[in-house]
Amino acid sequence: MKEQFTRKIKAFASQLGFDYCGIAKAQFLNEDARRLETWLKKGMNGSMRYMENYFDLRVDPCKLVPGAKSVITLLLNYFPIEKQNPDTAKISKYAYGRDYHEVIKKKLNKLMELIRKNAGEINGRGFVDSAPVLERTWAQRSGLGWVGKNGNLINKQSGSFFFIATLITDLELQYDDPFVKDYCGTCTRCIDACPTDAILPDKVVDGSKCISYFTIELKEMMIPENMKGKFENWMFGCDICQDVCPWNRFSSPNNETEFIPVSEILNFSIKDWEELTEESFKKIFSHTPLSRSKFPGIKRNLNFLKSP
């Protein structure tokens, strides 16, 4: 039965548009607990205090789903075929289309519904970047790739432009072999290219120095002066470490209609962004990841890029 349910779940995931599906045994993450504790003690989460919360839930799936037996990891490609106007403020590729939380949550709910139709009234919860789940660890444990020096999950066939979703369930399944090899080798392109020196040796990323942190997570209205001239025109997020990664030469355009880029994101000029009103911002970007920074945050970021 385990083998049968596993095959069906992977088939359902493919039908729902997920590009990869891997399954790992639910268990306490000893090594990750130590690593996360060290990272937090060094203050590398900056003002992201929420990362200090629910520590026990992050490292123990049974605290999220009582009796958890399996962690299903799903990857959804977001790499776009379209490119932004090269002379405008840069926006991370994951934010070109509809908010991925909305898109993936629907898919996870549908997957859970299909599993229950086949396996009975099992218990489970789906997560996408909004709960205390160490999704990259589970992706590696389920054989989907390795964690690169830039902290991203890298899939050997398709690179790293993926959203990661997690479904924890008390259904016992057949588990995939973990991905044990690290194919980054001696390459340091991501470390060398990071303009704020956020990528440290030993696969440690100082979140408090990352451009994505400053342009999205930082809620204060002032970005530190010592970051002046280092953002390389990134207004929302940053893709530098992924753009320079050799493994992303294998990236292919996504097939998700919900991720079709908002035309303004591709075509707005700097002048268009400067003249954007709050009313227009809400109308155009309310269902995109840009809404996370809100209008004042986008204006702050834009002014920071412009200022000498």
- What are the residue numbers of the active site? 129
Span between the terminal Cα atoms of the chain, in Å: 64
CB neighbour list of residue 31: distance below 8 Å, 6 or more residues apart: none
Q: Are 65 and 125 in contact (CB under 8 A)?
A: yes
Write the DSSP symbol of residue 53. Answer: T
| Cα–Cα distance list, 218 to 122, 210, 221, 276 (Å) | 39, 10, 8, 22
Q: Specify the 3-state DSSP secondary structure of 103.
A: helix
E strand intervals along 114-200: 124-127, 146-147, 153-154, 162-169, 199-200
> Tokens 């920071």 belong to which residue?
304
In whole angstroms, give the CA distance from residue 57 to residue 28: 10
Sign of CA dihedral 158, 45, 218, 108: positive
Nearest alpha-carbon partner for 73 in 15, 148, 140: 140
In whole angstroms, give the CA distance from residue 196 to residue 123: 43
| Cα–Cα distance list, 139 to 96, 142, 217 (Å) | 24, 5, 24
Q: Are 80 and 258 in contact (CB under 8 A)?
A: no
